[in-house]
Structure 1
Amino acid sequence: MTCKYPAAGPLAGIRVVDLTSVISGPGAMGLLADQGADVIKVEPPQGDIMRHRGDDENFTPGFVSVNRGKRSMVLDLKNPGAAPVLWKLIATADVFAQNFRPGVIERLGFDPDTVLARHPELVYLSISGVGRNGPYVKKRVYDPVVQALSGFADIQADPVSKRPKMIRTLIADKTTAVYASQAVLAALLARERSGKGQHVEVAMLDTMVTYIWPEAMAPFSKIGVENMDAASTLHDMIFPTADGYITLGAVSDKEWFALCHAIQCPHLIDDPRFQTAGLRNKNRQERMEEIEAALGPFRTAEIIATLEAADVPCAPVLSRWEMLSDPQVQANDIIHKIDQPGLGPIRQARAAAKFSATPNAPVPPAPGLGEHTVKVLESLGYGMDEIATFINTGVAAQA
């Protein structure tokens, strides 16, 4: 089969059957597609819901970001005639992924026990909101629900009003995507060694509890001495300057000394509140207030240059538009322009990881709904008459 975007990358030769939708599942399988896997996105006749959350029919920038490089085929899994086709497709795959609500995949007849009984070498991924057991399993779950349940919104709470706050990006969905893709690769490595596949389960709630644990749950980690009143300090590490904002950090004694000299406050070195790393952490709010007062008169470019000369970790706070033209972002060549059918020229961030021996292909577009239905069915051995029957009876659809 001729492909405009030939397989490249470390996962070339791995096939994924992707029944996932929205962000977490498509993002996980999108990471595999970025690294060369042949990901066949199996969509219902109406398509992934994320296709329709914008002004352009069947495409949104968000959909493109997590589905680029995949192939799309439409199968109506509620139609009994679709099951034999999906079974035939699964027989060609290394990975099967789904993120239906609990009970749906069982009703469709493609639950992990059934699928792995027929294909024990398969890696079967299930992504869920909160897991498959417990009181919340029937809840409809999106990213903000997980931020609320995991303690993440509490971490962001306003220190004065105590009102919890959400992160204004889909952090639970996207972090789950990263965890899930890593778990699939671990299972593929285990299969390489044992010859056996397995069921991999990743819950968004589990992901975010694990994610926040190292520093955010420190007050609750040591059993018997939990700090039940632990709260964030007032300061958010954003410092206003005369013409903008910066952030900075000084963890080691060397960095602290350098910072005090750079902001022309050497007296802070001998201040009894800040003489050790422990004291600086204990008196964090007072330390931040001293730094903020000292930084106020400086212009951003001036103080950044001074801090960098002193080897103090720092950066200007950029808007998203400014980020696109930042010289380091440009030096990394991370932002690429692609031609996305249905949208036109768009920007996309390339895959973050770069491979010296197995480089990824150039950033490809996302598929149209059912764009590859016929080609995939042909590759499974179906003739054109059979394919026409599938389409006429609603089993499948094409773009």
Structure 2
Amino acid sequence: MSGPLTGVKVLDFTGVVSGPLSTMFLADQGADVLKVEPLGGDITRRSRQPIDEAGEFSALFVSSNRGKRSISLDAKSEAGRKILLRLIEDTDVLVQNFRPGAMERLDLGADQLRSRFPRLIYVSINGVGEDGPYASKRVYDPIVQALSGIADIQAEPVTGRPRMIRTIVADKTSAIFTAQAISAALYAREKTGLGDHIKVAMLDAMLSYLWPEGMMQYTVVGKEATTADPNLRPDQVFETADGYITAGTISNLEWKGFCDAVERPDLIDDPRFSTPSARTANGTERINLMGALLKDRSSEEWLNRLDAADVPCAPILRRKDIVGNAHIVARNLLAELDQPTVGLVRQPQPAARFQQNLLAPLRPAPRIGGDTQAVLRQLGFTDADIERLIAEKVVRAPRRSV
């Protein structure tokens, strides 16, 4: 195993996406992540459509849990909790995303464990925080989109009807915030010798995510009513004769380049568009005009013209086109690996590339309890002990591969 987090041991109690994705990023960077699953496995193994005959894997699970090991046990049983405590003794980071109070009922809460293991970095992820009137809500991604302003920023320009982003943006953004916070806590522990309790609420993460440009009109206190909402203008999706492209004209040079590319030099000094502030103030008119000018030629021709004029632009790829896109192929952004019981699967390479701490090739997601026996042996359990724990349904080992 290689990567900047080699040697870091992570105990992953998380399910669904926000937690598993955050610990998967750590595994990509070399951490030894042991996923703790109930006897039936993480629920996302069966969400959407299964991709193997045994029903252990969904595409969502594979893409949120690659590179981990798995132990499957009954955490509510006395024997199961004893196993977990022995694992925690040698753990650097524990991550859980149960509803507030669940881990405390298992005697595995942050205060309970950190009093015994002061170097432990304990991470709690939840939907909307542990206090406030919404604290007891059951929360999934759309709930956070609704509360954070994301659905409002996506609203239909004409009707004002809020719309959800059609991907679980709150879960995935929270995962990135969490992975970064864990790295910061590991760095701090190197200096102080002490762990920490990190709390990440998905709502908190999405407010931070949205704020820089999404909440500009609410940034200056007392001037909210006089600041125009920059998000009311149309999006920058432009239809061409054979598809869709996007293009941006923030700077004066980019606006001039666009006008030259579409053979409309008269627009360069048009007072509505001649400065960045004017182009922002007249954003709807500008974008509608750009859309009208781009309709009569092919995407390829417009992209060539815009690139030649140094105007930011790109084709809008359909998802089916991403795998074969020339740029993505040239940069080797996707990898193929063998997933047990499934076959060959495709995964994105880690976004962060390290020159000194080279990352190991991507590894598959684990079967349910695929490492239960190996982990218990490392803890000193005999084969007879392990067979007894399996028979008593304290732990689960994988079924034979199909």
Aligned residue in 2 for 1:379: 378
Once residues 34 and 88 of structure 1 are traced to their aligned partners in structure 2, the CA distance between those partners, rounded to angstroms, is: 25
Once residues 11 and 156 of structure 2 are traced to their aligned partners in structure 1, the CA distance between those partners, rounded to angstroms, is: 43
SS in 2 for 1:330: helix
The number of aligned residues is 393
Task: Say which is worse superposed, 149-158 or 336-345, in terms of deviation.
Answer: 336-345
SS in 2 for 1:381: coil
- Do the aligned residues in 2 keep the contact of 1:75 with 1:395 (CA within 8 Å)? yes
- Do the aligned residues in 1 keep the contact of 2:12 with 2:36 (CA within 8 Å)? yes
SS in 2 for 1:227: helix
Runs (4 or more) in structure 1 with deviation over 6 Å come to: none
The Cα offsets for residues 235-276 of structure 1, whole Å up to 9 and x where unpaired, read as 110000111110000111111111111111111112111121
Once residues 27 and 247 of structure 1 are traced to their aligned partners in structure 2, the CA distance between those partners, rounded to angstroms, is: 30
Once residues 212 and 288 of structure 2 are traced to their aligned partners in structure 1, the CA distance between those partners, rounded to angstroms, is: 26
* 2:113 counterpart letter in structure 1: V
1:42 aligns with 2:36: yes
Once residues 139 and 190 of structure 1 are traced to their aligned partners in structure 2, the CA distance between those partners, rounded to angstroms, is: 33
Overall identity of the aligned pairs, in %: 48
Structure 1 residues 299-310: aligned runs within 5 Å: 299-310=298-309
TM-score by length of 1: 0.97
Segments of 5+ residues of structure 1 without an aligned counterpart are 1-6
Once residues 372 and 274 of structure 1 are traced to their aligned partners in structure 2, the CA distance between those partners, rounded to angstroms, is: 62
Structure 1 residues 1-399: aligned runs within 5 Å: 7-53=1-47, 54-55=49-50, 56=52, 57-227=55-225, 230=229, 232-399=231-398
The Cα offsets for residues 69-97 of structure 1, whole Å up to 9 and x where unpaired, read as 10000110111211111000001111001
- Do the aligned residues in 2 keep the contact of 1:28 with 1:178 (CA within 8 Å)? yes
| Deviation for aligned residue 1:234 | 4.2
* 2:276 counterpart letter in structure 1: A
- Do the aligned residues in 2 keep the contact of 1:25 with 1:99 (CA within 8 Å)? yes
Once residues 325 and 231 of structure 1 are traced to their aligned partners in structure 2, the CA distance between those partners, rounded to angstroms, is: 35
- Do the aligned residues in 1 keep the contact of 2:69 with 2:370 (CA within 8 Å)? yes
- Do the aligned residues in 1 keep the contact of 2:230 with 2:280 (CA within 8 Å)? no
TM-score by length of 2: 0.96
The Cα offsets for residues 341-381 of structure 1, whole Å up to 9 and x where unpaired, read as 12211111111111111211111110000110010011112
Once residues 209 and 187 of structure 2 are traced to their aligned partners in structure 1, the CA distance between those partners, rounded to angstroms, is: 24
The Cα offsets for residues 254-307 of structure 1, whole Å up to 9 and x where unpaired, read as 111111111111111121111211111000011111111111111110110010
| Deviation for aligned residue 1:385 | 2.2
* 1:279 counterpart letter in structure 2: A
Once residues 181 and 230 of structure 1 are traced to their aligned partners in structure 2, the CA distance between those partners, rounded to angstroms, is: 32
The Cα offsets for residues 181-217 of structure 1, whole Å up to 9 and x where unpaired, read as 0000000000001000010000000000000000010
Once residues 64 and 266 of structure 1 are traced to their aligned partners in structure 2, the CA distance between those partners, rounded to angstroms, is: 52
* 1:359 counterpart letter in structure 2: L
| Deviation for aligned residue 1:388 | 2.0
| Deviation for aligned residue 1:311 | 0.6
- Do the aligned residues in 2 keep the contact of 1:77 with 1:83 (CA within 8 Å)? yes
| Deviation for aligned residue 1:231 | 6.7
* 1:338 counterpart letter in structure 2: L
- Do the aligned residues in 2 keep the contact of 1:155 with 1:231 (CA within 8 Å)? no
* 2:117 counterpart letter in structure 1: H
Segments of 5+ residues of structure 2 without an aligned counterpart are none
SS in 2 for 1:81: helix
The Cα offsets for residues 136-182 of structure 1, whole Å up to 9 and x where unpaired, read as 11111000110000000000000111110011111100000000000
* 1:250 counterpart letter in structure 2: T
* 1:45 counterpart letter in structure 2: L
SS in 2 for 1:201: strand
SS in 2 for 1:246: strand
The Cα offsets for residues 293-328 of structure 1, whole Å up to 9 and x where unpaired, read as 111111110110010011100001110111111111
- Do the aligned residues in 1 keep the contact of 2:144 with 2:202 (CA within 8 Å)? yes
